[in-house]
Structure 1
Amino acid sequence: MGGGATRRRLALGTALLIAAGALTVAAPATAEATAENRAAPYCAGRHVLDLPFSTGTVHVYKRDGYVCAVTVPARENGARRTMSVSVQARGNRPVVDKGWYTRHAGPVTVHAGRRCVWIKGSMSAGTVSSGWILC
């Protein structure tokens, strides 16, 4: 083998190592961004709050007096499990979405205006309850 072929192979090997290192560094950030933004396609408005619990997170969005919430699992494994999300504006009854889902429960949207809301979410054994918030 000539010197030129050896240099080309060495350059190719170095380029592959650099590319693999870049993918290793970029992959965790991409996974985190995906987990945080899973609810974004379902709710309009700006993200105002996350309510994490042991098996998932309730993502809360607000726009023009409306509050929207979605429960997403901490890890998506494709299995159906019980999930729920509810949003209650003070003085009204809660709006609830509950069932056996694989990806998310909700979105649930209520008009709260300037009133406080109480948000609840659950998945399998984990639950979260916000108390009166966003007043």
Structure 2
Amino acid sequence: MGALRRRVALGTAVLTVSGLLALAAPGTAQAALVCPGREVVTLPFSTGTVHVFRRGEYICAYTAPKRSGAKRTMSVSVQARGNRPVVDRGRYTRRAGPVTVHAGHRCVRVKGAVGGGSVSSGWILC
């Protein structure tokens, strides 16, 4: 009976710790699921943040609101120099995007908006 109690206690402890870890780093886990690669730029603005990732010659970005919940207008745009922008625009609760472009070794311009707030990076990652 003592061995069974120890196993149940150990199982409960493992589940508790894994749950706490998931709560402690939700942004990191969510970002890994949204865009591949490593985060190279974060563009905060009054109503949200644009997260920009690079993996090889590809750039991926998404816009996240400061507070998720009700649907609101959001957008994200990534443009490699010399090409047209790739845009995701709509009414979302969690994020706009992700959008991915092949940038090669060209500069990119990233834009994002949530409600009335917006940000534009200018030409970056050259």
Q: Which bin holds the TM-score, normalised by the shorter protein?
A: 0.7 to 0.9
Percent identity (aligned): 67
1:115 maps to which of 95, 106, 124:
106
Secondary structure in structure 2 of the residue aligned to 1:79 = coil
Are 2:88 and 1:131 equivalent residues in the alignment?
no
**Structure 1 counterpart of 2:6:** none
**Structure 1 counterpart of 2:81:** 90
- Cα deviations by residue, 1:77-135 (Å, 9 ceiling, x for unpaired): x2000000000000000000000000000000000000000000000011000000000
Secondary structure in structure 2 of the residue aligned to 1:38 = helix
- Cα deviations by residue, 1:44-100 (Å, 9 ceiling, x for unpaired): 111111000001000000011000000001112x20000000000000000000000
Are 2:56 and 1:53 equivalent residues in the alignment?
no
**Structure 1 counterpart of 2:32:** 40
1:64 maps to which of 43, 46, 56:
56
- Where does structure 1 lack aligned partners over 5 or more consecutive residues? 1-25
**Residue 34 of structure 1: CA displacement?**
2.5
Secondary structure in structure 2 of the residue aligned to 1:75 = coil
What TM-score do you get using the length of structure 2 for normalisation?
0.78
Distance 1:80 1:87 in 2: 22
Q: Which amino acid aligns with 2:34?
A: Y
Secondary structure in structure 1 of the residue aligned to 2:26 = helix
Distance 1:39 1:97 in 2: 17
- Where does structure 2 lack aligned partners over 5 or more consecutive residues? 1-19
Q: Which amino acid aligns with 1:128?
A: V
1:100 maps to which of 91, 116, 123:
91
Tell me the matched-pair count: 106
RMSD: 1.7
Task: Call closer, same or farther: CA 1:36–1:133 in 2, change over 3 Å.
Answer: same
Rg (Cα) greater in structure: 1
What TM-score do you get using the length of structure 1 for normalisation?
0.73
